[in-house]
Structure 1
C-alpha cells in the first residue's frame, strides 16, 4: 500500500469539485481514501468546505474522520451541524470517542444531542463515561467489550459472544465476570474452541488478568500496557466490577500527548500549543520562561560585576565565561533528561543518595577529562599556568555541581507531585548558568589570590 501524500494538485481539485458542487465525482474521489487521510485533507480546507464534505459522505466514515481532525476544525464543523446530524455521527463511534466529542460540545446542546441518539444503550454508555475525569482511566476507556459469566457453559458463552461482538470493532480479549459483574479473569479462545460445549466457563478460564482502576492516571495505564505488551486492558470500578476497557490506540495517543508536552516543557513552553495557534497564545506559552531567562541573565551580570577588579587584571577570564556557562547548562540538561526519562519509564532503581553519588562521580570524570584539555589549551594560548589552572579547576567543579543539580531537581519535583519534565528546560539551564558563573569567578579568585 502506497502511503498517502497530500499534494497541492489534489487539494485544488477537491476545492474545485466543492465549488462546482460535483457531489458524485467528489464522493468517488474520496471513497477509497482512508478516513485519517480525508481528515488530513479537511484540515487544509476552510470551514464551509470542510462542512460540505462531512455532510456529503456517509456517517460510518465521517464519524471516524471527525475523531482525527484538529480540535478547532472539528469544533467549527460541529457548529454547522444540527443536533440530529451530530447524534448520527455519535451513533457510529465507539463510546470513548463519542464521549470525547460530546465533551467538546456547547453545554446548552449536549442534552438535546444525547436525546437524539436512537440507540438508548449507546447513549446511556456515553453519559456514563462523561462523569469520569478526562485525566483518568475511566475517561479513557470504552464500554464496548466482550464478557461472559463464569457459570455459563461453552455453548451459551459462544451464543452470547456472537451477540456482543456485533457492537465491538475489535475483540482483543474475552473477560469473565461473576453474577455481580466483578472481573474474575479472561478466557482463551483456544480453550473455548477445544472444550466440550457443556463445560462451564469457571472450569477453563484464566484467573490471572491485569486490570486498572477507573481512577488510575493514563500515564500509569500506559506503563502497565507497555510493560506487559497488552493490546487492551480491562477497567474496574472501586468494588471490582468490569466497567470498560482501554485499547492500545488510546494509549498511543496518551504517550504522544505526554511526549509533546514534555518536549514543549523542555524547550521552555509552559502550556500545550501548536504552530497554528494565535500569536497571543504562543506568546503566553513562551514568555514566562523567557522572563526567567532574562532574570537569570541579569543575575549572572550582577555576579560578574562583583568580580570587576579581577576581570580588569585578567581579561582572559571574561572570554571564558560563555564556555563555563554553556558547559554548566549542557551538563545539567543531560543529567536531568536522563532522570526524567527514567522516571517516565519507571526505570530508576535505588535511593536518591546513590543516584546523586553516581551522577557526581560521572560528572567528575567528565569534568577532569575536559579540564585537562582546557588546561593544556589555555596554558598554550595565554602562557599563564595559574590562569589556565583556575579556569580548568572551575570547569571541574562547575560540571560536578551542574550534574548534581540536574539530578536532584527532577527527583525532588517528582516527589512533590510536579511534572519533572519542567527540570529539563530553561529552569535547569538558567540556574546552572548562575551557579556556574559564581563558582567560576570564586575559584579563580582563590587560585589567583586576588
Structure 2
C-alpha cells in the first residue's frame, strides 16, 4: 500500500471542493483513501469543512474516521450532527468503539441517540458496555464475537458461526460455552473442518482458553496478551459467563497511552496533556515538578552554605559540585528506569533485597571506574592528591547512594500502588542532587580533616 502524505496542496484542493460543493469530485478523490488518512485530513480542516466531509461520505467509512479523529475535533463535529446522524455512524461501528463515542456525548442527548439506533440488539450491547468502568477490561471489550455451545453438533455449529460472523469484523477465535453461557473452551477451525458433521462440539473443543475478568486492569490484560502472543482474549463476568472479547488493536492503544503517560511522568509532567492544549493546562501539568526542582535547588544551596568555610579554603570543591550532582542524578535515573521497565513488563525476578544488592554492586563497580578517572584527572590538573582523593571517594559514595535510591524508590512506589514511572523523573533527580551534595561535602570534610 502506498504511504499517504498530507500536503498543503491536497488540503487546499479539498477545502476548495467543499466550498464549491463539488460532492462527486470529493467522493472520487477520497474513495480509495484509508479512513485513518481521511481522519488526518479532517483534523486539519475547519470544523464546518470536516463536518461537511463526514456528512458527505458513506457511514461505513466515516464511522471509522470518527474513531481516529482528535478528541476535540470529534467533539466539535458531533455537536454539528443530529442525533439521527450520530446514530447512523454508531450503527456501523463495533460496540466498543460506539460506546467510547457515546460516552463523550452530552448526557442530555445520549438516550436520544441510543433510541435512534435501528438495530436494537446493537443498541442493547452498547448500553451494556456503558456500565463498565472505562479503565477496566469491561470498558475495553467489544460484544462482537463468535461463540458456539458444547451440545451443538458440527453442522449446527457451522450454521450458527456463519450467522454470527456477519457482525464480526475479524474472527480471531471461536469460543465454546455451556448452556449457562459460561466460557469452557475454544474451537480449532482445523478440528471443525476434519470432524463429522454429526459429532457434538463437546468431543472436539479445546478446554484450555485464556480469559480475563471484566474488572481486570487494562494494563494487566496487555501483559497477558503480550506474554501469550494473543490477537484476542475473551472477557468473562464474575460467574464466568462469556460477555465479550478484547482485540489486539485495543491493546495497542492501551500500551501507547500508558507509554505516553510514563514518558510525561518521567519528564516531570504530572497529568496527561498534548502540545495543542492551552497554556494554562500545560502550566498546571508542568509547574508542580518545577516547584519541586526549585525547592531541591534551594535545599542544595542551603547545604553548600553550611560548608562555606571549607569551600573558601578549598575552592576546587566548588567547581566539582555540578559534576557530583549530575552523576547522582544520572545514576539514579538509570537505576530507576531499569526497575520501572522491569515492573511494566513484569520481568523483575527474585526478592527486593537481591535486586538492591545487585544494584549496589553495579554502582560500586561503576563508581570505582569513574572515581579512578576523576582522581587521575584532578591530581594532574591541580597537583593536590589529597583533594583529588576526597572528590573521588565522594563520587563513589554518591553513586552508590544514588543507585540505592533509584532502585528502592520505584519498588516502594509500586508496592504502595503509585505509578513507579514518577521515579524516573525530577523526583529522583532532585532527591539525588540533595543527597549527592550533602554526601560530597561531608566526605570531603572528613578526608581533608577540616
TM-score (norm 2): 1.00
Residue 105 of structure 2: aligned partner? 105
Q: Secondary structure at the match of 2:44?
A: coil
Match of 1:212 in 2: 212
- 1:15 maps to which residue? 15
Look up the SS of the partner of 1:43 in the other structure. Answer: helix
The aligned residue for residue 148 of structure 2 is 148
Cα distance in structure 1, aligned partners of 2:213 and 2:30: 41
Equivalent residues in 2 for 1:181-330 (5 A)?
A: 181-330=181-330
Instruction: Tell me the alpha carbon deviations over residues 4-35 of structure 1, each in whole angstroms, 9 at most, x when there is no partner.
Output: 11111111111111111111111111111000
2: CA distance, partners of 1:181 / 1:208? 16
**Aligned equivalents of 2:13, 2:286: Cα separation in 1:** 39
The Cα of 1:267 is off from its aligned counterpart by 0.3
Name the SS of the counterpart of 1:18 in structure 2: helix
Cα drift, residue 249 of structure 1:
0.2
Unaligned runs of 5+ in 2: none
Q: Which residue of 2 aligns with 1:59?
A: 59
Distance in 2 between residues matched to 1:22 and 1:373, nearest whole Å: 72
Residue 180 of structure 1: aligned partner: 180
- Give the CA deviation at 1:328: 0.2
The residue number in structure 2 matching 1:117 is 117
Q: Secondary structure at the match of 1:234?
A: strand
Instruction: Name the count of aligned residue pairs.
Output: 450
| CA deviation after TM superposition for structure 1 residue 260, in Å | 0.3
Aligned to 2:333: 333
Equivalent residue runs for 1:22-171 within 5 Å:
22-171=22-171
2 CA distance for matches of 1:311 and 1:235? Answer: 65
CA shift at 1:268, angstroms? Answer: 0.3
SS of residue in 2 equivalent to 1:168: coil
Distance 1:333 1:397 in 2: 16
Q: Structure 1: any 5+ residue segments left out of the alignment?
A: none
Q: Say which SS state the counterpart of residue 72 (structure 1) adopts.
A: helix
2-structure distance, mates of 1:65, 1:258: 23
- Helix, strand or coil at the partner of 1:433: helix
Instruction: Measure, in 1, the Cα distance between the counterparts of 2:5 and 2:304.
Output: 55
TM-score by length of 1: 1.00
Give the distance between the partners of 1:287 and 1:11, measured in 2 at CA.
37
Deviation at 1:359, TM superposition (A): 0.2
Superposed structure 1 runs of 4+ greater than 6 Å apart: none
Post-superposition offset of 1:310 = 0.4
